[in-house]
């Protein structure tokens, strides 16, 4: 008997860096109101889906051992959600190739979830509208809608209410991946503790930063980068101060902790400088791995070279 071999549907899932992240005080419902400017970066995972006898998740790459392959993986939840909504069994094999550091503050899990929505929309020919995809994304997590859209965007609420931000030019980044991850809830708890005990710095509103983005001026953007979670991430991993100093000493325009950390993101004047800074940082031994990336890039979208149409 002939068996049908399906080529996988493959989606590229870009990471994000927060150029600006302002965290409001803890609300009664346990959440913090956020104002953030995200940028999608070329450092990415790929997510491939094929029909299978049952729902299965496989994770590949250096960090694979730290990622669950059961129902706690966001891609599993995305598949179950779309299967239920479209009245079919969630019978797909999902393979994630991790390029994004795990628990690194770069929205790896959210990127994979967004990519799974796009991949299954294609595999199952669902014909979902942008609005429908957005709604599923928001149910999966507050960073998932941005991972779907990509580009540069202003996020409010818990980060899920998005407005596109004009960003001229490509910005060049170096990412220093830390040896150990940081749990996002633990970093928020540490910020609450620091705020109860004192007065850690708070970033201004993002107006000036958005102007620098519109002009496309990396040198003007650099001093405006800011992250309220940085103090908390540094408090939990004090060694990150050395990493931040080393990147600037190597020639970056500025360095910040990305989101809840511990990845440090360095903005550079151009690609050549980014390559030099990455080589210096790799040699200085202040990071587990160093990567060069640029942004803004598109959100989760079909990888035309790899996918069947
Ligand atoms: P964020 O920047 O959105 O706060 P993060 O980049 O710091 O997230 P993730 O890499 O998304 O963190 O992972 C956080 C935790 O989520 C991991 O420790 C892992 O156990 C779990 N997880 C669930 N699904 C995934 C996935 N597809 N990829 C990575 N981690 C996942």
Residues 295/213, Cβ–Cβ less than 8 Å: no
Tens-digit pLDDT profile for residues 59-106: 999 889 999 999 999 999 999 999 999 999 999 999 999 999 998 999
ipTM here: 0.93
Q: How many helices (H) and strands (E) does the chain have?
A: 10, 12
Residue nearest to atom 12 of ligand 1 (CA): 103
Catalytic residue among 16, 45, 63, 134: 16
pTM over 0.90: yes
Task: Say yes or no to pLDDT of 308 above 80.
Answer: no
Domain residue limits, the chain = 9-165, 171-295
Task: Say yes or no to pLDDT of 309 above 50.
Answer: no
Secondary element (H or E) of residue 135: helix 130-140
The residue to mutate among 59, 104, 109, 114, having the most atoms of ligand 1 within 8 angstroms of its beta carbon, is 109
Catalytic residue among 97, 143, 228, 303: 143
Q: Residue 279, annotated ligand binder?
A: no
**C-alpha closest to that of 165 among 119, 214, 116:** 214
Q: Is-catalytic flag, 143? A: yes
Fold of 9-165: Ribosomal Protein S5; domain 2 (3.30.230)
Residue nearest to atom 17 of ligand 1 (CA): 103
Tens-digit pLDDT profile for residues 106-118: 999 999 999 999 9
Q: Is-catalytic flag, 28? A: no
Residues 102/63, Cβ–Cβ less than 8 Å: yes
Give the chain's length: 309
CATH for 171-295 is: 3.30.70.890
The single-letter DSSP state of residue 246 is: H
Q: Which residues line ligand 1 (CB under 6 A)?
A: 66-68, 72-75, 96, 102-110, 112, 143, 184, 259-260
């Amino acid at each position: 008997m002939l068996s049908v071999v399906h080529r996988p549907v493959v989606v590229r899932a870009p990471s994000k860096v927060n150029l600006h992240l302002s965290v409001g005080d803890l609300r009664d419902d346990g959440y913090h109101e956020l104002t953030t400017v995200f940028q999608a970066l070329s450092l990415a995972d790929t997510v491939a889906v094929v029909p299978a006898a049952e729902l299965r998740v496989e994770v590949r790459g250096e960090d694979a051992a730290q990622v669950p392959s059961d129902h706690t993986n966001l891609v599993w939840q995305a598949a179950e959600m779309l299967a239920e909504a479209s009245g079919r069994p969630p019978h797909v094999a999902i393979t994630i190739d991790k390029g994004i550091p795990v628990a690194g503050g770069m929205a790896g899990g959210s990127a994979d979830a967004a990519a799974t929505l796009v991949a299954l929309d294609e595999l199952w020919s669902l014909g979902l509208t942008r609005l429908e995809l957005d709604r599923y994304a928001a149910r999966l997590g507050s960073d998932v809608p941005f991972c779907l859209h990509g580009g540069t965007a202003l996020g409010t609420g818990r980060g899920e209410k998005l407005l596109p931000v004009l960003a001229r030019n490509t910005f060049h980044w170096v990412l220093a991946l830390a040896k150990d991850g940081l749990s996002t809830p633990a970093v928020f708890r540490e910020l609450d503790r620091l705020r109860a005990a004192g007065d850690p710095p708070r970033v201004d509103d993002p107006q000036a930063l958005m102007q620098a983005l519109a002009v496309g001026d990396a040198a003007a953007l650099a001093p405006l980068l800011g992250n309220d979670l940085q103090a908390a991430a540094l408090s939990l991993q004090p060694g990150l101060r050395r990493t931040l100093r080393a990147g600037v000493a190597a020639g970056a325009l500025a360095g910040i902790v990305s989101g809840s950390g511990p990845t440090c993101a360095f903005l550079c004047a151009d690609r050549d400088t980014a390559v030099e800074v990455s080589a210096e940082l790799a040699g200085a031994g202040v990071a587990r791995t160093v990567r060069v990336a640029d942004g803004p890039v598109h959100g989760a979208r079909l990888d035309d070279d790899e996918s069947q149409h």
